C-alpha cells in the first residue's frame, strides 16, 4: 500500500512539473468541438478514477456474494452458500484486477507524457 502511495505521489509531482502556462487561466480542458489528445493530468486523473471504480465494483460483488451466501445458510442450503460466496470472491478479484490494470495503464501513460514535457 505504501509503495502505491509513493507511486501516486511521484505521478502527481510529475504532472505538476509538466504543466505549462501557455493556455489562458481556466481553459485546461479542450473545447467540446476540439479533438486534442488528452493531457497528462487527465490521464492520471482518469486512471485514478478507473482504479476507484474497480474497487467499488469489487466491493459490490463481495457484498452481493456474501449476502446471497448468508441467505442460503439461513435457509439451510450450504452448498449454494459456498457457491455464492465463491462467485462473489471471483467477481471481486476480477473487478478489482481490471480496474487496477486499466487505471495503472492510464497513470503510466500520463506519467510518460509528463516526463516527456520535462525533458
CB-side neighbour CA atoms (13 Å) of 26: 0
State the helix-helix crossing angle for 78-118 and 2-18, rounded to 10 degrees: 30
Rounded distance, CA 33 to CA 23, Å?
17
pLDDT band of 11, cuts 50, 70, 90 = low
Percent of the chain with pLDDT over 90: 60
pLDDT digits (tens, 9 = 90+) for 34-55: 567 788 889 999 999 999 999 9
**pTM here?**
0.64
Helix axes 40-74, 78-118, angle to 10 degrees: 170
Is residue 29 scored above 80 in pLDDT? no
Could you give the CA distance from residue 50 to residue 57 in angstroms, rounded to a whole number? Answer: 10
In the chain, domain spans: 39-119
**Average pLDDT over every residue of 57-68:** 93
Instruction: Please give the pLDDT value at position 32.
Output: 58
Give dist(CA 77, CA 82) in Å, integer: 9
Using alpha carbons, select from 4, 18, 2 the residue that is nearest to residue 48.
Answer: 4
List Cβ neighbours of 1 (8 Å cut-off, separation of 6 or more): none
Instruction: Give the containing element (helix H, strand E) for 107.
Output: helix 78-118
Amino acid at each position: 500500500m505504501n509503495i502505491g502511495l509513493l507511486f501516486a505521489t511521484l505521478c502527481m509531482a510529475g504532472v505538476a512539473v509538466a504543466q505549462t502556462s501557455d493556455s489562458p487561466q481556466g481553459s485546461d480542458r479542450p473545447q467540446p468541438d476540439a479533438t486534442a489528445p488528452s493531457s497528462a493530468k487527465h490521464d492520471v486523473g482518469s486512471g485514478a478514477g478507473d482504479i476507484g471504480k474497480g474497487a467499488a465494483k469489487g466491493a459490490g460483488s463481495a457484498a452481493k456474494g456474501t449476502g446471497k451466501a448468508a441467505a442460503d445458510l439461513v435457509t439451510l442450503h450450504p452448498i449454494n452458500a459456498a457457491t455464492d460466496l465463491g462467485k462473489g470472491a471471483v467477481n471481486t478479484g476480477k473487478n478489482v484486477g481490471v480496474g487496477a490494470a486499466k487505471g495503472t495503464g492510464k497513470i503510466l501513460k500520463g506519467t510518460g507524457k509528463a516526463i516527456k514535457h520535462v525533458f
